[in-house]
Amino acid sequence: MRAWLAEALAKAAILAFLVLYISRSVMSQELSTADVLKLPVPKADQRIPYGTDGLQFGDLRLPSGATPAPVVVVIHGGCWLSAFNLDHISSLSAALTRSGAVTWTIEYRRVGNAGGGWPGTFEDISHAVDHLRTLASSHPLDLDRVVVLGHSAGGHLALWVAARSRLPKESPLYVREPLRVRGVVALAPIPDLKRAALENVCDGAAIELMGGAPEKLATRYDQASPASLLPLGVPVRVLHGKIDRLVPVELSFAYAAAARAKGDDVTLTLIPEAGHFEPIVPTTKAWPSVEAAVWELLKRPR
């Protein structure tokens, strides 16, 4: 009888170990590009053009209540390529709106679209952000509390939005009075375009975006790369999945160190058991860290 009981307990222990091992393996499995592209796309309250091109529009989502609410500009990634649009980040936007923020999720011309790349992609991002001034005339937006959030290539563009004020007047991207933002939340960003080109991040998409290699277009890269425009002068919260296999976490380490050396308020949070896409999916364990970073910036005093 005792031998039977011991054998049963041993089998139960082995079974428990296997269940735990399998569950941990499933939980730690990274979301793939295909997984993210299958996410539901919550309907926006309004789709509003900010320009005349068919890709110059944004999805506006408004929280309940008539009081002016803080705004999060959401910029999707996808290696700046036309193959990826704003649909895959719409669940993130809807989640932030449920938490009380207006979200303005912007589409823009990308590599492969007519007018995409340099300088069109940057012009679109700039116009879309500044279009918030127009939207505020008919919607309850608190333009004193605007945070820009971007993922991957969108993280690069989000950081660049905050850097626009440092562009020289002779730059084709110069804007006289860009909308001031309170801070940036950069999720697995690509902040250094020169390094991205040299290290073949996104399979050479940075070179396609810029229209050539850094050694031939040094000035252009300097004006488009947040790492070359430091300090940004606004707080930046960088979050990066610890097991990201698409955008090297070393890019975030290097940017955070360089930004701090220039005097910027930058924090880098490594999210354990998260790959490239977990930070933009509200049902993952990575999401609370992202949401907390957004609201920390929206609530902080000027």
For residue 65, the model assigns a pLDDT of: 84
What does the pLDDT look like over 7-21, one tens digit per residue?
443 333 333 322 332
Rounded Cα–Cα distance for residues 255 and 228 (Å) = 10
- Domain annotation covers residue 3: no
pLDDT tens-digit series, residues 219-244: 999 999 999 999 999 999 999 999 99
Q: Is residue 295 assigned to a domain?
A: yes
Total domains present in the chain: 1
> In this predicted structure, what is the pLDDT of residue 21?
28
Q: Is 203 a member of any domain? A: yes
Is 79 domain-assigned?
Answer: yes
Q: Is 17 part of any domain?
A: no
Average pLDDT, the chain: 91
Alpha helices in the chain (DSSP H): 2-28, 33-37, 90-98, 120-130, 132-135, 153-163, 193-198, 205-210, 218-224, 249-261, 287-299
**Domain-embedded: residue 64:** yes
Bridge-based pairing of strands 266-271 and 236-241 is parallel
Query: Which residues of the chain are modeled with pLDDT < 50?
Result: 1-28
Residue pointed to by tokens 């040094």: 218
7 in any annotated domain: no
Angle (CA) 118 108 30, round 5°? 100
CATH number of the CATH domain containing 88: 3.40.50.1820
In a domain, 171, yes or no: yes
Residue 249, domain extent: 44-299
Task: Look at residue 95 and give its three-state secondary structure.
Answer: helix
pLDDT at 29: 67
pTM for this entry: 0.90
